[in-house]
Structure 1
Amino acid sequence: MATPPETEPAIKKYISLQELSHHNKRNDLWISIHGKIYNVTNWANHHPGGDLPLLNLAGQDVTDAFLAYHPITASKYLHNFFTGYYLSDYTVSEVSKDYRKLLTHFSSIGLFEKKGHGVFLTLCFMVFLFCASVYGVFFNDDPFVHLGCGGLMGLFWIQSGWIGHDSGHYQIMKTKGFTRFAQILSGNCLAGISIAWWKWNHNAHHIACNSLDFDPDLQHMPFFVVSNKFFNSITSYFYDRKMNFDGFTRFLVSYQHWTFYPVMCLARLNLFAQSFILLLSKRKVPNRVQELIGLLVFWIWYPLLVSYLPNWSERILFVIASFSVTGIQHVQFCLNHFSSSVYVGHPTSREWVEKQTSGTLDVKCSPSMDWFHGGLQFQVEHHLFPRMPRNHLRTISPYVKELCKKHNVPYNCVSFLKANVLTIQTLRDAALQACDLSNPIPKNLVWEAVNTHG
């Protein structure tokens, strides 16, 4: 049945942006899209992207965010939530106008739909890595081969992470059913990471990019802080708890520039834990049983594979090798945001382009290394166009650079080595301030680090 179009009322009713901002609670959640006001209070519990994106942007004009995350076809369902009100002071900035033109252009030439052979090649690579690792464990007695197999398992998990990341943003297979199968297989079953947890966490990160109190990707206390603002024990609105900067945290943070890489080698343990914490919580989790069964499959085959090794020393080295290699991916996640501009407070949608570009960092690399970075090398492009298949990110990069240049918004791009240097410098600066809180503290440590180092 065709969906009836929205009909324009004979006499339009208006409310101001200030009045709209009062409708920002879970039981009273209004948003504006193209100047029309929608009540999505009841929809929040059914929103495919989870309730956090709606809650974080409630009471605002969210046009750019809506367009970034939804295909054009999603607009036909908005009439179900229309309140009859319009935004009296609805305006569109020049940068938003050009951003929306780019969205329309990319959509008109089919870039959001043309996924190429990237997913197929990645899956083939994953099969090769997994089979090579298992074969080496079962059919070779050389301890060094077993150690290498652990490294191959880590590479396999990295590629699995890219598939999970992509599938959380767009349909990577021909149908939603096959996409869901790929998610559960590559994430839950073969990597031990819940795709439900990943989508919940990652959607919040995109909407609240580099907000210290709303973005979970910056909330790593007691191990790491990227801003002295954490010294004030701010509240995490993602985890719904206060992040206390106590004596123990201060001690760990004081050495964070030394512990960063070692901790990243074990960061996967946190993802294992977070997956179970979500699935065993009281939160509404779609397909909870399916997710748990997928994790159970991982915790059967991986320990069995490790137990097949001849002695405990080789088993431990295999696990360390697999965790350490996949730690490269955890480092990559941090490089794109740790050394970028941060802020405290509620995410906003009216400056969508500015917020997304200032909080991200591109990594310069040759096309031959795209498989290694999995799309994260084009982080600015990805944050502006999250539904864009990764094989097109290099294609749209010149357009994004031109958009940023035209409107004088940040477009930070450095080499992989320089990104590491910036990240360590940011952590070191915060560590030195944690050692001596009596020293004057700059207002924005991370932004200073980026601009100081290029």
Structure 2
Amino acid sequence: MGEPSRYISQEELSKHNKRGDLWISIQGKIYNVSDWAKTHPGGENPLLTLAGQDVTDAFIAYHPDTAWQYLGKFFTGYYLLDYSESETSKDYRKLLSELTKMGMFEKKGHGVFITLCLMAFLFLASVYGILCCDSTWVHLGCGGLMGFFWIQSGWIGHDSGHYQVMSSRGYNRFVQILSGNCIAGICIAWWKWNHNAHHIACNSLEFDPDLQHMPFFVVSSKFFSSLTSYFYERKMSFDSFSRFLVSYQHLTFYPVMCLARLNLYAQSFILLFSKRKVPNRGQEILGLLVFWIWYPLLVSYLPNWGERIMFVIASFSVTGIQHVQFCLNHFSSNVYVGPPSGNDWFEKQTIGTLDVTCSSWMDWFHGGLQFQIEHHLFPRLPRCNLRKVAPFVKELCRKHSLPYTSVSFWMANVLTLETLRNAALQARDLSKPVPKNLVWEAVNTHG
């Protein structure tokens, strides 16, 4: 007879939730991934965020079937007592299995090739206009083309970060560095670190970095309590300065989005020159150097400083469309405080996102974000297949009485501005005091 199975309770499992003592459950089997977290391809943040929980749905969403073979060496010999799966999870796992059998995760179509051709055209047109034309208006248009060039590089960088868009991992890595670091000046390592955290903790005010834009924007009055960002490991202080900026956030939203790339540049350098472990740090830095050589050099060919500034502003402003798109899918959706739960993966992903309704010929413009619900449920699914699986997801949401929100691009903007305006009006309520900042305390210190 075999050795009898050993069990631990959910309460006992939840105690193993920190660095050096990190356990998770997958289909009721307990795994010790304390050491693996240090070299986990997705970074340690996703494991730490869901540590001490059953993470079956998150695991199957992010990993192909081949990943199961590596779990054995982490098995503790324990099983989760009273392990069960909800009806929603059962249907979600069944749908994912069916999509896998249909080859939906492998069929990538010709989208990558078309995107690369479009990027090449936009870049060459912009360079040609600067080098071969003297018209100020042409130079302004070239700035706009550069902005659209960056948008398309962002889409393919996003795709290559979620699944292999090329024939090999080496080529896929090349596309990541090319589209992110070399073309856009954004560290792909920073993006993956940030984006993985966003997916795992979708719309958690404390764990999702995509909602942590204090002091410029808040999507909920819950931020007025000065929440802690567990991603950035700091307190998000809502002081008098934050209150002032937030009070007008619905008016400053679009202007700030026009300059949002400056923050991404800063975050890239902060990560690369920090003590945090960054895979392939040398490649990342070299890629950024390529960007900071070719872009300033191209700008320098413009005839005067006025046109140079105009070109930079135009390219940044057009790319601001993409930064707005990043916000539309989540700002007006349901938010919560605290860590995510592995037991309601499907529910959290659906109520925390919304789709943007559009015709198929406009898919190039949205880059897959128009099917954000589907993307969050199946992050490895190639962009070209998101439209195909949308009816199945919608039916699953209907079956389990979950919202499936899909609105026009215009309405998504309206809902986002309404969310920002509501929080702004609450911030203007002067009857509610805010914590004093350090400057105030220093000026008003006596003795």
TM-score, normalized by the shorter chain, greater than 0.5: yes
Looking at structure 2, the residues matched to 138 and 234 of structure 1 have their Cα atoms a distance apart, in angstroms, of 50
Q: Deviations over 1:309-355 (max 9, x none)?
A: 00011000000000000000000000000000000101111000000
Looking at structure 2, the residues matched to 65 and 299 of structure 1 have their Cα atoms a distance apart, in angstroms, of 37
Whether 1:86 and 2:79 are equivalent positions in the alignment is: yes
Question: For the Cα contact (< 8 Å) 1:64–1:352, is it kept in 2?
Answer: yes
Looking at structure 1, the residues matched to 334 and 265 of structure 2 have their Cα atoms a distance apart, in angstroms, of 29
Looking at structure 2, the residues matched to 174 and 126 of structure 1 have their Cα atoms a distance apart, in angstroms, of 20
Q: Which residue of 2 aligns with 1:237?
A: 230
- How far does residue 27 in structure 1 lie from its aligned partner after superposition? 1.3
Whether 1:255 and 2:248 are equivalent positions in the alignment is: yes
Whether 1:206 and 2:193 are equivalent positions in the alignment is: no
Identity level (%): 76
Q: What are structure 1's unaligned runs of at least 5 residues?
A: 1-7, 440-454
Looking at structure 2, the residues matched to 283 and 172 of structure 1 have their Cα atoms a distance apart, in angstroms, of 28
Q: Deviations over 1:339-390 (max 9, x none)?
A: 0000010111100000000100100000010000000000000000000000
- How far does residue 410 in structure 1 lie from its aligned partner after superposition? 1.7
Whether 1:438 and 2:431 are equivalent positions in the alignment is: yes
Q: Deviations over 1:369-427 (max 9, x none)?
A: 00000000000000000000000000000000000000011211100000000000000
- How far does residue 10 in structure 1 lie from its aligned partner after superposition? 2.5
Q: Which residue of 1 aligns with 2:7?
A: 14
Q: Please, what TM-score do these two structures have when normalized by structure 2?
A: 0.96
Where 2:77 maps in the other structure, the secondary structure is strand
| Aligned counterpart for 1:410 among listed residues 373, 390, 403 | 403
| Aligned counterpart for 2:319 among listed residues 323, 326, 338 | 326
Where 2:191 maps in the other structure, the secondary structure is helix
| Aligned counterpart for 1:266 among listed residues 259, 276, 280 | 259
Q: Which residue of 2 aligns with 1:443?
A: none
| Aligned counterpart for 2:38 among listed residues 32, 42, 45 | 45
> Alpha carbons of 1:437 and 1:56: their partners in 2 closer, same or farther (altered >3 Å)?
farther
Q: Which residue of 2 aligns with 1:387?
A: 380
Q: Which residue of 2 aligns with 1:57?
A: 50
Whether 1:181 and 2:174 are equivalent positions in the alignment is: yes
Looking at structure 1, the residues matched to 69 and 291 of structure 2 have their Cα atoms a distance apart, in angstroms, of 40
Q: Deviations over 1:268-317 (max 9, x none)?
A: 00000000100110000000011001000100110010010000110000
Give the aligned length: 433
Where 1:363 maps in the other structure, the secondary structure is strand
Whether 1:348 and 2:341 are equivalent positions in the alignment is: yes
> Equivalent residues in 2 for 1:112-123 (5 A)?
112-123=105-116
1:296 counterpart letter in structure 2: L
Q: Please, what TM-score do these two structures have when normalized by structure 1?
A: 0.94
| Aligned counterpart for 2:394 among listed residues 398, 401, 409 | 401
Q: Which residue of 2 aligns with 1:125?
A: 118
Whether 1:154 and 2:174 are equivalent positions in the alignment is: no
Q: What root-mean-square deviation, in Å, do the aligned CA atoms of Structure 1 and Structure 2 show?
A: 1.1
Q: Which runs of 4+ in 1 moved over 4 A?
A: none
Q: Which residue of 1 aligns with 2:369?
A: 376
1:277 counterpart letter in structure 2: I
1:72 counterpart letter in structure 2: D
Where 1:377 maps in the other structure, the secondary structure is helix
> Equivalent residues in 2 for 1:291-302 (5 A)?
291-302=284-295
| Aligned counterpart for 1:104 among listed residues 94, 97, 107 | 97
> Equivalent residues in 2 for 1:163-178 (5 A)?
163-178=156-171
Looking at structure 2, the residues matched to 9 and 288 of structure 1 have their Cα atoms a distance apart, in angstroms, of 48
- How far does residue 89 in structure 1 lie from its aligned partner after superposition? 1.3
Where 2:71 maps in the other structure, the secondary structure is helix
2:407 counterpart letter in structure 1: V
Looking at structure 2, the residues matched to 129 and 187 of structure 1 have their Cα atoms a distance apart, in angstroms, of 16
Looking at structure 1, the residues matched to 309 and 247 of structure 2 have their Cα atoms a distance apart, in angstroms, of 30
Question: For the Cα contact (< 8 Å) 1:9–1:84, is it kept in 2?
Answer: no
1:352 counterpart letter in structure 2: W
Looking at structure 1, the residues matched to 390 and 208 of structure 2 have their Cα atoms a distance apart, in angstroms, of 25
Looking at structure 1, the residues matched to 159 and 8 of structure 2 have their Cα atoms a distance apart, in angstroms, of 38
2:409 counterpart letter in structure 1: F
Looking at structure 1, the residues matched to 403 and 158 of structure 2 have their Cα atoms a distance apart, in angstroms, of 24
